Amino acid sequence: MKKKKLNNKKVIMFILIVIIIIFMIMGIKKLIKVEEPYSEPKIISKINGYELKEGASSYYKNVFNDLKIELNKTEIDEENYAKIISKLFISDCYTLDNKINNNDIGGVQFVYGPFQDDYILIAKETLYSHVENNIYGNRKQELPIVKAVEIISIEKNNYEYLETRDEAAYFIKAEIEYDKDLEYPKEVSIIIIHNNQKLEVAEMD
């Protein structure tokens, strides 16, 4: 019985097709980058319920360190404590560059508990409404980064809103400096009230 001879042309063609397919697969893998989805930033420091997370701006980290120093004192300077909370809140609220999307609202942890839901809703509909999604880290949008917050004035006064009252609330005015002027607010007024042993933001204008 005669053996069938292999068709050299067919063999060569088959090998060439296999090689082409291999190169195509390798090329596609290089073109398609597997992007890692967003994961919740790690908490790198804590004090009295306040948290510092990865991704915070360098200014925010420095002020958070000021907070740790103040709260670790035997006798806390409450006015300075109020100033620090103001700086942290304003910095986190108005630094949009490190936010993942318009649901990632800054400053929430400094807001008076019963008012947090309202604050989140208002922020989403105003300041954060245009923040594009950055879940894969490929956002091209230019967003503000707070460079510094300066306290212009601070005074104690009575605060009353519905059932919330504080006879020694802090009324604070501050100026905001950004890394780049993108026409975001540069002057802010906030009211800080007592919530047990903590100071929290009750209002911002």
Domain ranges of the chain: 43-204
User: For the chain (length 205 residues), average pLDDT per consecutive 10?
Assistant: 57 72 68 54 89 94 97 96 98 96 95 95 95 92 97 96 94 97 96 95 94
- Per-residue pLDDT, 16: 72
Other residues' Cβ atoms within 10 Å of the Cβ of residue 147: 15
- Per-residue pLDDT, 24: 75
3-class secondary-structure state, position 49? coil
Mapping DSSP onto H, E and C, the string for 53-109 reads ECCCCHHHHHHHHHHHHHHCCCCCCHHHHHHHHHHHHHHHHHCCCCCCCCCCCCCHH
| Dihedral-angle region of residue 137 (phi above 0 means left; psi in -120 to 50 means alpha; beta otherwise) | left
Integer Cα distance of 22 and 186 in angstroms:
57
Q: Is the torsion defined by CA of 98, 51, 87, 162 positive or negative?
A: positive
